[in-house]
Structure 1
Amino acid sequence: MPRTQTPTRPLELFATDHLVSEEDRAMQATVRRFVDDRIRPEIGAWFETGTMPAREIAPELGRLGLLGMHLEGYGCAGTSATAYGLACLELEAGDSGLRSLVSVQGSLAMFAIWKHGSEEQKQEWLPRMAAGEAIGCFGLTEPDFGSNPADMRTRATRDGSDWVLQGTKMWITNGSVADVAVVWAQTDDGVRGFVVPTDTPGFSAPEITRKLSLRASVTSELVLDNVRLPDSAVLPGAKGLSGPLSCLNEARFGIVFGALGAARDCLETAIDYAQGREIFARALSSYQLTQAKFADMALELGKGMLLALHLGRLKDEGLLSPQQVSLGKLNNVREAIAIARECRTVLGAAGITLEFPILRHANNLESVLTYEGTSEVHQLVIGQALTGHAAFR
């Protein structure tokens, strides 16, 4: 059956480029070229073998200005929040593990030091981290405490002028390759953050293997066995849970955009496949049921993109609230994983192979669905905003 018009890419239907500045579009295009040229040829093999050459990739990301890109000073690019979001979208179109590397580096480890650290800590770590010469990780989640970090067991106690840290953190991206860890611990004065060089005696980061999701990402446990630190290791600007939660909000913002990158890649792959796949002597894309799937998925992708861009504008204006980030994370990840699963059905058996990115994205999104706040937690954040009642316990 001949086509009657030139196909339109999904987001072109929504004319979202019209809503983005020329400068931010240029940054997005740069990241997309990097992903196409550097990541796509390798990502299937990395996923299959459960590896990610983070130490090799980080300096390349640094040269593009992507590490801590939305932060000001200390070698950071100082871009808009929207540019950062669009970069996350393109990185996750490559793989969620790649976006996680950038998110943890910039929005968790670097942001914690940039927002809450001393000038000495900033000068020591941020320029090297922005360049990708030093990698950071963020130690908050524990084996038994994810959604309820207030009950964490890791403890920091005073010993003279020093601090001694004891405890375990779990599911830590970048942990085994990190040069510095931002670790959160209970103290007699509430939860405090510590900047921990990973070569400190008593610190170890065994890698977590046998994963079925985020395989092209370094995931580790952090073990703190009487790690002794000077008083200068404390993040002076962070007291209580507001410190780590402010960092998580930064990372969640990147996910709002990033998940759409995985969804877009799945949908574009499925449409391209269906155009060339013949069923009963016709292109699969010419059947009504296939087109209905594409229409529904394009609609959800576009709605998610409009939401993400709106949140980006609010963030650039200093008006974005944590509840609004929860709206974006809940909706966009939920819709992205639904799109990935539906796209897999279009490809049939071919969709389960690493020849195509779809099931890899779907597997990765299973992790994105629950990290940086589960869907249930974000539902409760939104529910509290709507009713005034906290229903977490």
Structure 2
Amino acid sequence: MYDTSAPTHPTETLIAGPRGRRFLLEYALASESTYRPVRDEGSFGFAVAHAAHALTPRKWRGMPFVGSNARESKIVDMTVGEVAARLNHVELHASHASIRLALALATDRGKYWEHPDGEDLLAATPELHRALRRVAVYITASGLTSWWYTPIAKGRQQVVTWNGVFPPLPRENRSIVPQVNAMQRGLDFPSTPRPVPSSTRSLADGSPAGLWFVEDNLGQTRAESTGLIAPDEAQVFEITSSADWAELCVRYPLEVTQTGGAGASRSVVRDAANRVLVPDWLRVADQYQGVHLQVGAYLAASALPIDTGSALSIMTGWDPDETIWLSPEVSYSGERTQWALKEDGFNMVWAKSS
């Protein structure tokens, strides 16, 4: 029995998981900033900053609270109900840029080895959950996120590297994957096989999605990309929801044990028998050349317990729209594009560099 509770409608997908809710929160903040760039005491952004700070356990707060101006630096009591009320009055503005920014921020904050930050805790409260539904309905109706629920775009795949070295291509189906399974036996490692190449699609401006949407971004300002060429007939398993991940685990099970490391203690689920399943990528590679995680599935299911029927699983370490490649039938185009992070008004954007 797979996890049948997985949401299927885009609106429900967006509010189902912590990354989706964080996206909605960041989108609402970005919308308000278009017509209210300064966070005054009556703004939604002001309320979010103070409420999130209050929700963060003291031992996880890190640096002292500092607002965007001197007035905001003084902590103000702010209830979740007040945050939700202000959110209900935010004018929403749909654009590719604002959606891209919100998704980038939500992905970057996916740090499952740490305690959830105040914004994630705030977005998970029942009061804000109800208010975020309006944002989810609006974004879904805009049509700008429809590609989040589509299969891999085989002809538009790019691989990104931050250090100038692209992952080695598998020489044969069984050349690299065994290393991955050995790593996965301790769940301090993510559930995606990093030793093999992974790619994302080109966005409307030609930049790869993998430039923008990176979990726990390390602050890189330069990158390179190259095209990945996959055969038209390549079989790619589509992860559209947690149910698909559960199916992958049941069809190709690899039982692993939580090692108890600092990262695993906050991110890994277990049942009473301490059984956790992840996909056996060696067996997956016998039938599929790649596995693609749709953006909608990432937002709904990343780092949440997934019921496979006989054990639990968890999907961590993936980026939105990422496809991992397990087959020797893929190749690199050989053409490299340089990218640099540059200022564009109040935000930073990726642009081609010479």
TM-score range with shorter-chain normalisation?
under 0.3
TM-score normalised to the size of structure 2? 0.25
The one of the two structures with greater contact order (alpha-carbon pairs below 8 A, sep at least 6) is: 2
Which structure carries more helix by proportion?
1
